[in-house]
Structure 1
C-alpha cells in the first residue's frame, strides 16, 4: 500500500502549495472585494483537498505505520503521530474552513449557523481531539516526556479550545450584526496557520529529522498568524464601535 500513500501524499502536497500561496492573496486583498473572494475560494478548495488527503494518509498510517513510513522504527509511537494526530488535524482543518466560510454565507442568518451539519462537524472534531489527547497521554506514559506525544497533547487541547469557541458563537446571540466578520477571518487565518505548521513539520522531517517536532519551529506560523489576526481585529473594532454608536 505504500504506492497509494505516495499518490495521496503527492495530491496533498500539491494542494498544500496552492493553499499556502493563495492564503496571502486572500490576506492582502481588500476584504469583501472580488479579488478577495476569488483568492478565498481557491484557498478553501485547496485546504479541503489537502485535508481530505490527510485523512487518507492518517488512515493508512493507523493500519500500517511502518510500511507507510519505513524510515521510522517505533510503530506504536508513530501510529499516534502520523495516524491519530493526522486524522484529527485533517478534521480540524475542515472544521475551521467550514466555520469560516459559513460565517460569511450566514452573515444575515445567524440561526443558519446552527444547522445540524455545522454542529456535527464541530462535534466530530471535538471527539477526534479527545482521541488524540488520550492517545498522546498514553504515549507520554509509554515513552516518557518526549516531544512527539507532548505535541499530540498540545494540538488536542488547541482543538478543544477552537471547537468550544465555535460552539459558543453559533449557539449564542451575536453581539452585533457585524460579529460574523472577526469570526470569519479568525477561522480562515487559523486554517492558514495550520497549513504552514503542517508544511514546516513535514519539511523538517525530510530535511532535519532531529528538529521535526521542535515546538519553537512549530510556533513560528502561530506567531505570524496571531499578528495578522490582531492587525485585522484592530481595523474591525473602530467600525464596530461606530455602528453601535449610531
Structure 2
C-alpha cells in the first residue's frame, strides 16, 4: 500500500512538474507584462508550488522507508545513499522550490511595496530553507556526497539574499522586478534539474549524479537571470555597471 501511494505521488509530481516546465517558457520568452505573461506566470507558480509540496511528501516517505519506496534501486545503491539523495536532498530541494516560487510571486504582487513582503510565511520560508540547507550539507558530508553540499549552498544563498531584499533599505525602483525574475527562473531551474537528475535515476541510474545533469539547467537559468537583470536596468535607464560600483562604495563606507 505504501509503495502504491508513493507511485501515485510520483505520477502527480511528474504531472505538476511537466506543467510547470512547459509554462515556464511563456513568461521567459514572451512579452513582459502581457496577458499571456501573467496568465502563464500564474500557471507556472501554482504548478511549481504543487511540485515542491509533493517533493516534500515524497522525501518524507523516503526518509521513513528508503528501499521500501525505491525497490528498483536495491542492489544499485545502499540505504544511506538513497536516504541522502532522495530523502534529505529532495526535502531541501522541495522547500527551496516552494521558497523561490512564493517569494517570486510576492515580489511581483507587492512590487515596490517591499514592506508587504515581510509576512510570517515569506520570512519563515527563508529560515526554513536555510535550516534545510544546513541539514542537507551535513547529511551529504556524512555519506561523502559533495553534490548535496553544493546544492545546500544554493539554498543558503537563496535564504540570505531574499532576506537582504526583504529588509533592505532604499531599493532601486526595479529591484523588485529583478528579484521576481531571479526567484521564478530559479524555481524553473529547480524543476528542470529534478527532471534531468532525479528522473535519470529511473531511466539511466549511472547518469544520476553526473555533474552535467545538474549543471545544464543551472547554466541556462543563470544566463536567463543575468540577461534579464541587465535588460531591466537598461530599460529603466540605469547603468548596471555604475550601480555595481555605487553599491561597492556604499558597502565599503
Partner residue of 2:192 out of 196, 199, 219? 196
The answer to whether the 8 A contact 2:174-2:232 is kept is no
- Aligned: 1:49 with 2:45: no
Q: What's 2:211 paired with?
A: 215
Q: What's 1:7 paired with?
A: 8
The aligned runs of 1:47-196 (5 Å cut-off) are 47-73=48-74, 74-140=78-144, 149-196=145-192
- Aligned: 1:225 with 2:225: no
Structure 2 CA distance, aligned partners of 1:72 and 1:100?
Answer: 36
Deviation at 1:237, TM superposition (A): 1.4
When residues 33 and 84 of structure 1 are mapped into structure 2, their CA distance, relative to the original with a 3 A threshold, is: same
The Cα RMSD (Å) is 1.3
Unaligned runs of 5+ in 1: 141-148
Structure 1 CA distance, aligned partners of 2:103 and 2:170?
Answer: 15
Structure 2 CA distance, aligned partners of 1:9 and 1:101?
Answer: 25
Q: Tell me the alpha carbon deviations over residues 196-222 of structure 1, each in whole angstroms, 9 at most, x when there is no partner.
A: 010001331122211111012210011
Q: What's 2:247 paired with?
A: none
Structure 2 CA distance, aligned partners of 1:237 and 1:44?
Answer: 24
Structure 1 CA distance, aligned partners of 2:149 and 2:39?
Answer: 36
Q: What's 1:144 paired with?
A: none
The secondary structure found in structure 1 opposite 2:71 is coil
Structure 2 CA distance, aligned partners of 1:44 and 1:81?
Answer: 25
Structure 2 CA distance, aligned partners of 1:47 and 1:120?
Answer: 19
Structure 1 CA distance, aligned partners of 2:200 and 2:146?
Answer: 18
The answer to whether the 8 A contact 2:62-2:87 is kept is yes
Instruction: Count how many residue pairs are aligned between Structure 1 and Structure 2.
Output: 235
**What's the TM-score once normalised by structure 2's chain length?**
0.89
4+ residue runs over 4 A deviation: none
The aligned runs of 1:7-26 (5 Å cut-off) are 7-26=8-27
Unaligned runs of 5+ in 2: 240-253
Structure 1 CA distance, aligned partners of 2:14 and 2:201?
Answer: 14
Deviation at 1:242, TM superposition (A): 5.0
When residues 174 and 9 of structure 1 are mapped into structure 2, their CA distance, relative to the original with a 3 A threshold, is: farther
